[in-house]
Homo-oligomer: A and B are copies of this chain.
């Protein structure tokens, strides 16, 4: 009860001021009782839990009473003059005036005007703009990595910090591999909010950027954990759509996790516009998405009951229309274009011990995707502590490959702090660059199994503090 002692000291001061010495003890007792009642702890948690529950108490009330935001805005002048961020209520800033245009219920949803000659339009543009070739090297297409997050702050305060780490991680990989980044923070189509928002965004970007050959969609909760792995672009020369997945699970089992739409490659072509049109119809918010969800849960293996999501819809589309799309879809399982965090994050130490960056597969995954952690939401499907701890580990695992270029490493996979791994020299350009990470852009990184393991390269337990 250390905390109530703090309180007690304050209380005694108050009493002297109020000259009510006699009832001190009674009040102290009842204060504890009333405090616990007021803040709605219910159970007798730790003081920290109580404090959090107070925050919840206020937050929830604020959410269920939107009109309060206005009241606060009006009475905010006084507190708005404070320079203290901790005492500032962000909701005072929320300016989301204006409704989104209501869609016409009579006409079916469409991502945009029908386009059937995109390949011709794009080819002509490329002819006229030789300064913007769609290939920037042999077997090296011009790629735009597209990701994003809500224009609002996360529902939980720490979420934005993990979004920041996730985009820093993507900036690093994309700088090393000559990939451009588009970070979206705008909701372009209110009907397609949520997991479906990527569809109108992707179509818009394909049509605006004919110079882009491949668009790489990546969820905000996915991180690059192999900074040396170059996507085997030439492998996809006859395909338009690359997702991590397995033919059997999608086409035979119709399993809703037979593929993952959190990280995929889409070629800029007419076929891509067509499959986006075929993908979109289950997306519109409300009745359509709800009813479609029932169909998907009924038709797909192991799918829980919830509204239609883009991943299930893609499995359903491919399983039911394989003849239309199958020959141009490449379900990749030879490396982790998407890798489920649950089966990877506890093996990082083993990977460091035995393997090295550049492999991209179970030995050193290209991407670790925190499916179900929802770090920017209020609730995830997994324990929060595990999600955040493992996201830090994944970030540091990838970041160590960046830091080694400059002679640093994280003190451990769980530590934000870094330490030197070598001393600076007066001949910095003579430092060996084992992974070819210093200047790999525009070149596929050649990595053979004869390459030393991360540890043999000097990244032993002592260095990595494992």
Contact = CB atoms under 8 A, between A and B. Distances in A.
A384 interface: yes
A242 B13 CA distance: 58
Nearest to A77: B385
A82 B462 CA distance: 34
Interface stretch (A290-298, A300-308, A313-321, A418-426): A418-426
Given A35-B35, A80-B386, A89 B48 contact: yes
Interface string A38-70: 101000011111011111101101000000000
A414 B211 contact: no
A252 interface: no
Interface centre among A52, A81, A442 (most CB of B within 10 A): A52
Contacts of A375: 85
Interface residues of A, number: 141
Nearest to A388: B93
Interface string A153-195: 1111111110111011001100100001111011110000000
Interface in A119-137: 121-122, 125, 129, 131-132
Nearest to A409: B186
Given A46-B75, A405-B208, A86 B428 contact: no
B406 A204 contact: yes
Given A58-B51, A417-B100, A158 B90 contact: yes
A38 B52 contact: no
B10 A38 contact: yes
A90 B158 CA distance: 7
Copies in the complex: 2
Contact of A38 (B7, B113, B153, B384): B7
A83 interface: yes
Nearest to A416: B151
A26 to B, nearest CB: 8
A378 interface: yes
A247 interface: no
Contacts of A31: 27, 30-31, 34-35, 38
A270 to B, nearest CB: 12
A115 to B, nearest CB: 5
A37 to B, nearest CB: 4
11 contacts: A14-B36, A14-B37, A47-B58, A55-B86, A80-B383, A80-B386, A83-B381, A114-B426, A131-B439, A157-B157, A164-B164
Given A96-B415, A165-B185, 5 more contacts: A14-B37, A27-B34, A48-B89, A82-B384, A205-B406
Interface of A: 6-7, 10-11, 13-14, 18, 20, 23, 26-28, 30-31, 33-38, 40, 45-49, 51-56, 58-59, 61, 72, 75-76, 79-90, 92-93, 95-98, 100-101, 112-115, 121-122, 125, 129, 131-132, 149, 151-161, 163-165, 167-168, 171-172, 175, 180-183, 185-188, 204-205, 207-211, 375, 377-386, 388-389, 392, 399, 403, 405-406, 408, 411-412, 414-419, 424-429, 438-439, 442-443, 465
